[in-house]
Structure 1
Amino acid sequence: MTYAAGAKDFTGTGDAYDRFMGRYSQLLAPAFADFCQVETGQRLLDVGCGPGAFTAVAADLLGPAAVVAVDPSPTFVAACRERHPDVDVREGAAEALPVDDASFDRAVAQLVIHFVTDPPRSAAEMRRAVRPGGLVGVCVWHGTEEMGLLHVVSQARAAVEPPSEPEVRPFGQEGELTALLAGAGLVDVEDAPLSVTVRYSGFEVLWSSLLEGIGPAGAYVASLGPDTRERYREALYDLTGHPAGDFTLSATALAARGRVPD
């Protein structure tokens, strides 16, 4: 089953993260919550919460008091606390979650498991935090052209600076996340693609979000000299189809969930 969210225009709203990747993660969060079967009455742990895209959805569904959010970045912790003052937001790593054993019905990690230093340990920690019968869920962006934004920015980089070897995104291929959760001792492991579509009101909206230096793509653009940056911009413009006005980029995430044994 594919869980899909409609197009949404985030132009001119939010902070720098929201203008770049945040517009995708905000759309993905409701579909991921649906996939993880987040329902009223549960207690949920949001692992690697960032500025709070999934936290917002969880708090709406369950109430802020039923959500604990954890992130290792003090900057993201501060941003999440500011946006969600009634949520318990804690600083901590996925490999050593600052929570009690079996204290949640759901533990989820949206778009973070590929960034942690020890994914198997992080998956085991999420299992530890969830009561028997509860669910652990993880998702990452697809590692192919099915993640439109990351595909066009990586192709633009390849046009400017051909890579010495193919880019491989951790857990970006089908089956990798299910293997991770099964390896952590979870059962009834299932996976599904989650699709979203983001609308831009013009090419300059996309380009300006890259110039803010957010994430690996933004950092790369910020590192370029003027001439190389212009060649990158031209390549990106070509890859997005020379948009004269509104255009969309679709993105597919790979998601997996597993149940803590009774």
Structure 2
Amino acid sequence: MSFDATRDAYDRYMGRYSDQLAVTFLSFVGGEPGHRALDVGCGPGALTQVLATGLGAAHVAAADPSESFVAACADRVPGADVRRAVAAELPWIDATFDLVVSQLVLNFLPDPGAGVAEMLRVVRPGGTIAACTWDYADGMTMLRTFWDAAHEVDPASPDEARTMRLTTERELAQLWATSGLTDVRTRALEVSTEYTDFEDYWQPFMLGIGPGGAYATSLDASTLARLRDGCRRRLGSPDGPFTLTARAVAVSGRRSS
């Protein structure tokens, strides 16, 4: 599985959702002028850009382990402090930020608890930490369609709804509470995107990005064709444009002062 891709490739696959989600997510989280913010797992910079719009690029930092994503984010948000780093080893001193956020990353971390501990370390006392992940089981139609079709042709397919942790409000709230955060609150966030046709939906999976792309590009031609047909059928065999919705779950809390 890989997220080390160009911004264009990522945008075709997931950026069409994450750009909208960034705005909705930060509306839930909040933020005040003058605050310093860090985006953990910034990808090509969707959330970083929204943070910079509200706070100013000089007040925003971002980190990602992907070299290509770090370059894309730095290019997208000039003036932001963008560094290559994993969530469990953030290269900033203690209590640097007022707000630390992470979008669509927490469930991919090898040790989410270690990631949250680092987020706690770099946020000031009284500061806010927030994250969001997709509702893979029911709310993310693009992926739900793909994995339901995959399971039909291959019962052993690695459905993200089965393999991913931290994809419900309850799981996120529990992690925040056990990490020592206070004023914990959660919310479901919904966005949507339009596809020009079925190929606009299907071809991004052929780029090999994320679990879905990695799985699709690992298949033999016959199985891949059956998977493609299954996805098309589940979407109603569209001949033209269609819209899909996506639901994420978000959590926010404060570091004790």
Q: What CA distance in whole angstroms lies between the structure 1 residues aligned with 2:89 and 2:190?
A: 31
Letter in 2 for 1:59: A
CA gap 1:249/1:133 in 2 versus in 1, 3 angstroms: same
The match for 1:4 is none
The CA deviation string for residues 11-53 of structure 1, in whole angstroms up to 9 with x for no partner, is xxx6010001111111100011111112322110100111111
Shift of 1:85: 2.6
**Candidates 71, 93, 98, aligned match of 1:100:** 93
| Number of residue pairs matched by the alignment | 249
Tell whether 2:33 aligns with 1:40: yes
Instruction: Using the TM superposition, give the Cα deviation of residue 104 of structure 1 relative to its aligned residue in structure 2, in angstroms.
Output: 0.8
RMSD after superposition: 1.5
- The C-alpha deviation readout for 1:30-86, integer Å capped at 9, x for no partner, is 011111112322110100111111011111111110000011122211221222231
Corresponding residue for residue 80 of structure 2: 87
Cα deviation for residue 164 of structure 1 reads: 7.7
Alignment-derived partner of residue 204 in structure 1: 199
Give 2:233's aligned residue.
238
**1:160-199 map, 5 Å:** 160-163=153-156, 167-199=162-194
Give the 5 Å matches for 1:64-75.
64-75=57-68
Work out whether residues 50 and 76 of structure 1, in 8 Å CA contact, stay in contact via their aligned partners in 2. Answer: yes
Alignment-derived partner of residue 76 in structure 1: 69
> What is the identity, as a one-letter code, of the residue corresponding to 1:147?
M
**2:131: which partner in 1?**
138
- Determine whether 1:226 maps to 2:221: yes
Residue of structure 1 in register with 2:3 after alignment: none
For 1:51, what is the secondary structure of its paired residue? coil
2:149 and 2:234 in contact (8 A); partners too: yes
Offset from partner CA, 1:166-195 (integer Å, 9 cap, x none): 723211123111111111111010000010
Q: 1:213 is aligned with what amino acid?
A: G
Deviates more, 1:24-33 or 1:241-250: 241-250
1:205 CA displacement = 0.4
Moved over 4 A (4+): none
| 1:105 aligned partner, one-letter code | D
Asked if 1:247 corresponds to 2:214, the answer is: no
Residue identity opposite 2:217 in structure 1: A
> What code does the residue aligned with 1:200 have?
Y
5+ residue gaps, structure 2, are 1-6
Question: Could you tell me which of 95, 102, 107 is aligned with 1:114?
Answer: 107
SS in 2 for 1:193: strand
CA deviation after TM superposition for structure 1 residue 113, in Å: 0.6
Given that residues 120 and 183 in structure 1 are in contact (C-alpha distance below 8 angstroms), is that contact kept between their aligned partners in structure 2? no
Does structure 1 residue 256 correspond to structure 2 residue 251?
yes
**Deviates most, 151-160 or 216-225:** 216-225
Tell me the distance in 1 between the aligned counterparts of 2:232 and 2:39.
Answer: 36
Aligned counterpart, 1:7: none
> How far, CA to CA, are the matches of 2:88 and 2:151 in structure 1?
33
Q: Give secondary structure in 2 for the equivalent of 1:252.
A: strand
Contact 1:74 1:91 in 2 (8 A): yes
DSSP 3-state at the match of 1:257: strand
Alignment partners' CA distance in 2, 1:43 and 1:68: 8
Question: Is 1:203–1:237's contact at 8 Å kept on the other side of the alignment?
Answer: yes
Give unpaired runs (5+ residues) of structure 1.
Answer: 1-13
Q: Which moved more, 1:78-87 or 1:183-192?
A: 78-87
